[in-house]
A and B are shown apart, each in its own frame.
Chain A
Amino acid sequence: MTTTTRHDIPGEIEHAVRAVSGVAALYRTGSLASRIVDAGARLLGVRGDDEPLVRVEETGDSVRVDAAIGVRASGGAGEVVRDVHDVVRAILEGWGFADPAIRLTVVHVEEEPQGAE
């Protein structure tokens, strides 16, 4: 049996967010400086490419989640990001966080390939 710990929260959220209809991708969050540092860390092999892109900060009984998402152009970005919020909130409530702070940002709208349905 696999036991899930709180360290799995970012991965669990990322997996669920990617499954939301209309979500095309997840992106790195943070300031420009932190993203450049992050890119350097990946080049040096200090940080792996497969680490969760969702940022989760736990402080006592509270939690803050920050995620940057890309959506498909066929859906409305607002509608998709609201669906993502509901999914993330449900996961966090399942972990016992009654009032999580969730910050979601659409950073890219992906055009459908020409000829696609």
Chain B
Amino acid sequence: MTDEHDSPDLPCLGFEPEELDGHTIEELSDYLDAGRSPRDASIEQSAGCRLALDALERLRGLTPDLMEADAAAEEQADEGWVQRILAGITLDARAGRRIPFRADDADLAITEGAVRGIVRAAEGAVPGALIGRCRVDGDVTEPGAPVRVHVDASVPYGRPIPDMAEQLRAEIGERLRRHTDLTVAGIDVTVHDIQTFLDAEEER
């Protein structure tokens, strides 16, 4: 089974319109700027766009702090970090594999994209943490098969990384238990970035 996250040759994460049902991440960003008005049914009725909008909104909650800290330091914003987050949002919005629920006589499932959205939303319960990429390894289409979840995260400077990773791991595990029938063998959290601007926000 192929998975876009598993490809070692994945080119550098271009924001192709087909990844978001014909829209681009820039269009979704503009749509958020406009307060999601006038309502665009092609966006609102697209699960991929909704997943991307969720993540963009959470990211935007931090953006003013990023810019403020950047201006104070008179340095360039870390666009590489922002691009990594945006790339993760775009990739994770894809529907991906169909993950079945246990059911005797029904075809019920949740998409891998929805599951990645659940995992991403865990960052909201761990102040300062941001999830950049999420990957689910294992045969998720086989009920009961063990799977492993991998996330890349960014955490604020000055906070104990092991504690934040454990909080994220616990939150992700609880969410997956609530919303899926997956047999989660492990959750790996890799901290890729440490952000100084988040530290300032935490102190407010």
Contact = CB atoms under 8 A, between A and B. Distances in A.
B22 A27 contact: no
Interface size for chain A: under 10, 10 to 19, 20 to 34, or 35 or more residues? 35 or more
Given A35-B21, A102-B107, 17 more contacts: A27-B47, A28-B45, A32-B95, A70-B50, A77-B101, A77-B110, A78-B110, A78-B181, A81-B108, A82-B101, A82-B108, A85-B108, A106-B109, A107-B114, A108-B50, A108-B114, A110-B54
B73 interface: no
Interface of B: 18, 21-22, 41-42, 44-47, 50-51, 54, 95, 98, 101-103, 106-111, 113-114, 117-118, 121, 124, 178-181
Contacts, number: 104
Nearest to B42: A39
A73 B179 CA distance: 8
Given A78-B101, A78-B181, A105 B110 contact: yes
Given A105-B98, A111-B54, A77 B179 contact: yes
B22 A106 contact: no
A85 B106 contact: yes
A68 B47 contact: yes
A97 to B, nearest CB: 14
10 contacts: A25-B50, A27-B46, A68-B47, A73-B179, A77-B101, A77-B114, A78-B102, A104-B109, A106-B110, A107-B47
Contacts of A26: 45
A39 B111 contact: no
Contacts of A36: 18, 21-22
Interface in A35-88: 35-36, 39-40, 42-43, 49, 53, 68, 70-71, 73, 76-78, 81-82, 85
A106 B45 contact: no
A9 interface: no
A82 to B, nearest CB: 7
A43 B95 CA distance: 23
Query: Ordered nearest first, which 3 A-B pairs have the shortest CB separation?
Result: A107-B47, A49-B41, A106-B110
Interface string A80-117: 01100100000000000000011111111111001000
B117 A108 contact: yes
Contacts of A71: 179
